[in-house]
Structure 1
């Protein structure tokens, strides 16, 4: 492990949307992390935005570079496993963007490799630190509406045109469910634990779609149902969260704003960073509808806590066991689609 005073030399693998929008600015916001290397086939763009970093065209060479302590993998989903495996075997700590891998067996193998080489392995489930989720989690933890029995979590967008990008072309872990589903699943597991059943329905709704662009998945937790929904034809999106409990209900209408803030040039530490003006609405028993301020979000906490864990000062912010559980639910949803029925999940992986 690195000592608290030494910088953690970081390599960012890939420089597409996720890397440029999320990983690079969030890494640069953490003093303990030092961006030293970027692997990209577009060196001009990297040089214009990150002039002080070294650039490597070959991602496999970058993940084993001797000067690197931490490798952050933000490449297409089908490359996650070989790059992460090589980095771990080279003695690097590793962060993998979600989904961890295209299938559960590879996720379990990565976990075993990290254990064998005594390296930290984490997955970028950054939406644990969104204002909307933090607000709902706090209210549920306080018992504000009693025991939750119906939980809805939506990530809806209006993108009627199919774009020519790997996420929307057929391939391993492509499509909307594998893009947004890991966020929805991870948050549900944090709130409710391990589900008993998974029932999933996927569809291609846009003209020209070749992968799913609509997903509706229901997780069963005893008497509780968690409805996870994502779509690309929502010009008027539904509420981000709706929760009905034994004593009342709560609603969080607007989603977290950090992605839009990052795109607009805001960074962690700026005065408005993570501030969510949309309040949480709630009603208990027969009382009036009330509101409370949303909890501020801060996705840079993932990298701050990761740096602490590498230095031996705290726990892994997203432990491999947690990421493997997400993968197990993702894969169970695909079995449900194939079989056309709810599937059981009796044992945690």
Structure 2
């Protein structure tokens, strides 16, 4: 089968270190073009690429069937809309848009045109969350009552990254919060209500750098939190059930590998060393619990398979829209100091 010609819009750190390698190792995709406004950095690793200086020039060239958008959040909606209207399949780095109403509009266009539209929620393929999926599916902990998800770092100084500037879609809630909320939605679905505290804790911060979000389900409390001022070990995940508890420290190994310039290939990709495995505490036993393989490659393979009619999307727009609605509810909760009910929640 002919490879799907793919173009990458943006070649910043995430585009260069993660998207480009993942596209390049997918057997059914071919990276043919990159939009770089000022440089030609992509040609250092991919000399065959065609470089475009603007998004409009890329679309006019008609060189690609799949457009992958890895630009600042405020550009996601207008660029994705233009690409869909030009008849292109589209993947957008998370969050798919800044506002849920924009995501709803994109979904409508994609559905009307029969195009594939998805959002890069790669952390569904983290080894730790895949392990938790396995634990829940097998009922190891019995009925789950509490799920806690952290994404903590120590970055006490504000950088010149756009995420820390006064621009639409800035801050840690739209960045890391999108991942944590998506994982919770994947596990438990739509919550009944949302309560959140979203703060700017560093001196001079103009973008939020801390959140503590509660998603309440029937019988399950999901607590999602992230901070850039944590310089001590806290668990990445904590899951409590009637039969026991599971706790996991440390991040999935793939991000570190990508940052080191490793190519996502080989039998050991995404495997975590046994000393980093989480701990399972049951009533009469305890010990380490093997972490499942993490594998972001599955995201782009699923995109290719869906375009080729061999599969259905793993990351659907209905879920992306719900994630944005939860983020909007979280900001409203923080502003008004109260729970925000979600219609039809579990």
TM range (shorter): over 0.9
Displacement of 1:64 in angstroms is 4.8
Distance 2:111 2:267 in 1: 40
Whether the aligned pair in 2 keeps the contact of 1:21 and 1:259 (CA below 8 Å) is no
| 3-state SS, counterpart of residue 43 of structure 1 | coil
1:236 aligns with 2:241: no
Q: After superposition, give the CA deviation of every residue in 1:253-306 in whole Å (9 maximum; x if it has no partner).
A: 12201010011122222343101122121122x212122211010001100111
Whether the aligned pair in 2 keeps the contact of 1:13 and 1:63 (CA below 8 Å) is no
1:127 aligns with 2:123: yes
Distance 2:228 2:168 in 1: 20
Q: Which of 278, 281, 306 pairs up with 1:280?
A: 278
| 3-state SS, counterpart of residue 325 of structure 2 | helix
Displacement of 1:207 in angstroms is 2.0
Which residue does 2:62 correspond to in 1?
66
Whether the aligned pair in 2 keeps the contact of 1:132 and 1:254 (CA below 8 Å) is no
Q: After superposition, give the CA deviation of every residue in 1:151-191 in whole Å (9 maximum; x if it has no partner).
A: 10011111111001110011211001111011000000111
Whether the aligned pair in 2 keeps the contact of 1:40 and 1:59 (CA below 8 Å) is no
Q: After superposition, give the CA deviation of every residue in 1:63-86 in whole Å (9 maximum; x if it has no partner).
A: 453121000000000000010001
Whether the aligned pair in 2 keeps the contact of 1:25 and 1:267 (CA below 8 Å) is yes
TM-score normalized by the length of structure 2: 0.96
Displacement of 1:44 in angstroms is 2.8
Which residue does 2:292 correspond to in 1?
295
Whether the aligned pair in 2 keeps the contact of 1:63 and 1:83 (CA below 8 Å) is no
Distance 1:8 1:173 in 2: 31
TM-score normalized by the length of structure 1: 0.96
| 3-state SS, counterpart of residue 44 of structure 1 | coil
Unaligned 5+ segments in structure 2 are none
Which residue does 2:37 correspond to in 1?
41
Which residue does 1:323 correspond to in 2?
320
Q: Which of 111, 115, 138 pairs up with 2:111?
A: 115
Distance 1:116 1:64 in 2: 22
Distance 2:52 2:200 in 1: 37
| 3-state SS, counterpart of residue 134 of structure 2 | helix
Displacement of 1:342 in angstroms is 1.0
Q: Which of 98, 101, 104 pairs up with 1:102?
A: 98
Which residue does 1:90 correspond to in 2?
86
Which residue does 2:52 correspond to in 1?
56
Which residue does 1:159 correspond to in 2?
155
1:264 aligns with 2:265: no
Displacement of 1:8 in angstroms is 0.3
| 3-state SS, counterpart of residue 21 of structure 1 | helix
Which residue does 2:19 correspond to in 1?
23
Pairwise CA RMSD: 1.2
Whether the aligned pair in 2 keeps the contact of 1:136 and 1:252 (CA below 8 Å) is no
Runs of 4+ deviating beyond 4 Å: none
Which residue does 1:208 correspond to in 2?
204
Distance 2:233 2:167 in 1: 28
Unaligned 5+ segments in structure 1 are none
Whether the aligned pair in 1 keeps the contact of 2:69 and 2:76 (CA below 8 Å) is yes
